[in-house]
Amino acid sequence: MEYIGKLYGRIGNKHFDTGYTAKEWDELTKQVETLKKQLNKEQKLLVDIVSHCPLCDSDNLHQYKLHHIHCKDCKEDFNKSCG
Ligand SMILES: [Zn+2]
């Protein structure tokens, strides 16, 4: 962003101060991009971790809810995040 100074938003014909300068806004945007990349990496990591059962190495897994995996071979349940 070339503009340096405070940023203002507009609702209808009313203007308001966003509380950010253009420089701060650029930095925030960069931070969001970095966080998104990190998140993508972590999600990929989770998928890698759960492609096989950590106990019996079976790929006969059933995922339920968001973070829970059930292995159909050894009948163990485990949590994605603790692998
Ligand atoms: Zn298993």
DSSP string, 1-61: ----SEEEEEETTEEEEEEEEHHHHHHHHHHHHHHHHHHHHHHHHHHHHTTS-TTT----E
Asked if 47 contacts 60 with a C-beta cutoff of 8 angstroms, the reply is no
Distance 11 CA to ligand 1 centre (A): 56
Name the pTM for this structure.
Answer: 0.42
Measured in Å, residue 39 CA sits from the centre of ligand 1 at: 27
Q: Separation of 42 CA from ligand 1 center, angstroms? A: 23
What is the C-alpha to C-alpha distance for residues 79 and 10, in angstroms, rounded to an integer?
46
Distance in Å, CA 64 to ligand 1 centroid: 15
Distance 58 CA to ligand 1 centre (A): 5
Per-residue pLDDT, 14: 87
Token pair 């009313």: residue: 14
Please write the tens of the pLDDT for every residue from 40-72: 887 776 666 667 887 898 889 888 777 788 899
Q: Tell me, what's the pLDDT at 80?
A: 64
